[in-house]
Chains A and B, each alone.
Chain A
Amino acid sequence: MFPGPTLLSAASAIVETALNQALEFDPAGRKALLAALTAPVQFDLTVPIALTLTLTQGAKGVLVGSQPATQPGLVIAGPAMAFYAMASGDTGAIKDGRLSVHGDTALAHQFQRAIEQLSPDWEAAMARHLGDVPAHFLAKRLRNSVKWSRDARQSMASNLEEYLHEETGALPGSRELEASFQDIDALSLRVDRLAARVEFLPQSQPASHLSSHPPEPPEPPEKQENS
C-alpha cells in the first residue's frame, strides 16, 4: 500500500522538523500552540491520497505522527486543497463543509486562534546564517514581494468578478442574485400556505354551510420587497 510506513515516517519527520524550527522563531506562538494541544489534533487528508497526520504536545516541541491517534481531541478531515485554503486564512473552508470537524469545539477554536497568531521571525532565522544586514535586505524584499503578490491576486480577483458581472453580464450580480433568492423564498412560503389552505377547504366546507357567516377570504399576499 502506498505510501508505506517508511515513507509516512519520513514525511512526518520532515513536517515535525520544519514545524519545530519555525516555532523556534516565534516563542509566543510556540507557547500558545503547545498550550492549545491539550489533546492530539488529527488531520485526515482524503484527496489526492489518504493520509493522516497528528499533532501532539511533546516534551521538546510539537510531535507529528503519521498514524491515527488513539484518542484524538479534534479530527479535521477533507481534501488537501481545503486544508491549503484554511492555512491561507480562508475561514469559509469549515463553514461551507469542505472540511469536516469532529471533536472538542473549544479545542478547535483554541487551536485555530493559536495558528492565526503564529508569526515566525524569518528575518532572525536568515540573520543566523547570512548576518543582520543581508538578512534585513532580503527579508524586506521578500515581504514586499509577498505583499505585492497578495495585492495583485486580490485585485485580479475583484477585476475579474466585476468584468463578468457588470461588463459582460455573463453572470448575475450578487445583489440581483440575493433579491431573486429572497423572492423565491417568499414564493415558496406563500405556496406552502396556499397548499395548507386548499387541504383545509374540504374539511371546513360542511361547517361553513351551517354557519351564517361566509368563510374568511384568504390573506392578501405579502408585499414583495426588493422587487
Chain B
Amino acid sequence: MSDQQTPASTATSGSQHDDVTHFGFRDVPKSQKAGQVAEVFHSVAGKYDLMNDLMSMGVHRLWKRFTIELSGVRPGHQVLDIAGGTGDLTMKFSDLVGPSGKVVLADINASMLKVGRSRLADRGYAGNIEYVQADAEHLPFPDNSFNAVSIAFGLRNVTDKDQALRDMARVLKPGGKLMVLEFSKPSNPLLSKAYDTYSFTALPFMGKLIAGDSESYKYLAESIRMHPDQDTLKGMMETAGFANCKYHNMTGGIVALHVGIKP
C-alpha cells in the first residue's frame, strides 16, 4: 500500500509544472489527459452500469438517491447534470422537474452520452431532457441558466478542476445549488486499508472479467486516490465562488457529497 500512496507526492510536485497533470498515478501533459480519459470511457461505456452495480454492490444507487434528496429540485426547475453518463441522476431529475422544467444531460464522452440517451429513451424519458456533448471546463450555456448543477463521479476526471468549478458557478442562477458527488477519503484507517486492497485487486480483476479491460479500472482506483480530499474540495468550491459549502460523508467517507450555493 505504501507504493500506492507515494504518487500523491508525485502529483503535488507535478502540479507545480503548469503543463503536466496526473492521469491516475502517472504524470501526463495536460493536453493529453482529456484524450486518455476519453479512451477509458469509450472502453467501458457498454458495461458501465453493470460494473457500477458490481463494484459498489449496488450502493451507488443510494449515494445518488441522497444527492437527489439534497438537490431541492422542484417542478419547473432547470437542471444541468454534468458527466451525466448513463443518466442515473438525469432520470430522477426529469421526474422531479416535470413537463414544465428541463434537464440537460451533458457529458464530454460521446460513447457515454450515446448509451445514456438510448437508456433514457428505452425507459420512456423524453420531452424535458436535452443531450449535450460538453466539456465541464467550458460549459456551452449562458450565465445564470440553471437552478441546480450536479456532477457525479466526474470531477476527478476533469483536467482543470478549478476552472470547471468556476464555470459551474457561472451557469448557475443566484441561489442555485451545486452538488459534487465523488469518491473521497475514508475517515477510518481500517476501512481505508480494506478499501485500498479492494480497489487495487478486486476492481481491475472485475474489469478484466466483465468489461475485458483491467487498465481502465486500475485507472479508476488510481484516480480516486489522486482526487482532493473532502476539505480540499470544499476549499476549492469556496475559492470558485460558492457559499455555504459543506460536505456529507457517505459509507465511511468512501464517497462524499459536496454542496455549495451560488450567492
Contact = CB atoms under 8 A, between A and B. Distances in A.
Contacts of A9: 62-63, 65-66, 69
A70 B177 CA distance: 14
Interface in A1-23: 4-6, 8-10, 12-13
A66 interface: yes
A12 B96 CA distance: 17
A78 interface: no
Contact of B250 (A6, A58, A59, A66): A6
**Closest 9 pairs (CB-CB, A-B):** A9-B62, A9-B65, A59-B95, A9-B66, A5-B66, A67-B69, A5-B250, A6-B250, A6-B251
Interface string B65-107: 1100110100000000000000000000001101000000000
Contacts of A58: 95-96
B59 interface: yes
B257 interface: yes
B181 to A, nearest CB: 11
A38 B128 CA distance: 23
Contacts of A5: 66, 248-250, 257
Interface in A57-96: 58-60, 65-67, 70
B113 to A, nearest CB: 24
Given A6-B59, A6-B62, A13-B62, A65 B250 contact: no
Contacts of A13: 61-62, 65
A8 B66 CA distance: 8
Nearest to B97: A59
Contacts of B98: 59
A70 B251 CA distance: 25
Contacts, number: 38
29 contacts: A4-B249, A4-B250, A4-B251, A5-B66, A5-B248, A5-B249, A5-B250, A6-B59, A6-B62, A6-B63, A6-B251, A8-B66, A9-B63, A9-B65, A9-B66, A9-B69, A12-B65, A12-B69, A13-B61, A13-B62, A58-B95, A58-B96, A59-B95, A59-B96, A60-B95, A65-B69, A66-B66, A66-B69, A67-B70
Nearest to B64: A9
A66 B251 CA distance: 16
The main secondary structure of chain B at its interface with chain A is helix
Nearest to A65: B69
Interface in B229-263: 248-251, 257
A44 to B, nearest CB: 16
A65 B62 CA distance: 12
Nearest to A10: B62
Interface in B41-66: 59, 61-63, 65-66
Interface in A123-138: none
Contacts of B62: 6, 9-10, 13
Nearest to B255: A6
Contacts of B61: 13
A65 B96 CA distance: 13
Interface in B15-45: none
A64 to B, nearest CB: 10
A131 to B, nearest CB: 30
B248 to A, nearest CB: 5
Contacts of A8: 66
Interface string A191-207: 00000000000000000
A126 to B, nearest CB: 27
A71 to B, nearest CB: 9
A45 B36 CA distance: 50
Contacts of B95: 58-60
A7 to B, nearest CB: 8
Nearest to B65: A9
A13 B63 CA distance: 11
Contacts of B248: 5
Nearest to B99: A59
Which of A5, A60, A70 counts the most chain B CB atoms within 10 A? A5
Contacts of A6: 59, 62-63, 66, 250-251
B133 to A, nearest CB: 27
B79 to A, nearest CB: 14
A58 B65 CA distance: 14
Nearest to B253: A4
A4 B249 CA distance: 8
Contacts of B96: 58-59
